[in-house]
Amino acid sequence: MATGTRIGLGGSAQVYCVHDRQKRQIIDPEQVRFLGRALNVQYDPRHHKLQTCACCQNLFVTPDDTPRLCDRCSGVTAHPLAAPLPEPLEGAI
């Protein structure tokens, strides 16, 4: 009769951009509305546009649809760049 040991590994990975923001954490427009309500910020789609940050790939709200990085990714990098950042995505989502 043979006996043995079975080993299993598990876990989850979190990916962060060079500005130390978790990537793809806010990807659904409903999440943006929920966070706005939680912070008492009114989000009106007639006057605000949703964009995806080219760095962290999270949704954020802007007053117009000019391509840009989110506020957190517009600052100083927390980690050295390994590759060039892509240009901000054209238009609003």
Evaluate if residue 91 carries a pLDDT over 60: no
pLDDT tens sequence across 15-32: 888 888 999 999 999 998
Evaluate if residue 1 carries a pLDDT over 80: no
Query: Phi, psi (5° rounding) for residue 32?
Result: -65, -45
pLDDT tens sequence across 69-87: 999 999 888 877 776 666 7
Three-state DSSP state, 32: helix
pLDDT of residue 5: 80
- Sign, CA dihedral 68-74-79-82, equals positive
Between the two ends of the chain, the Cα-to-Cα distance in Å is 62
CA gap 89, 60 in Å, rounded? 12
The model carries a pTM of 0.68
Evaluate if residue 59 carries a pLDDT over 80: yes
DSSP state at residue 44:
-
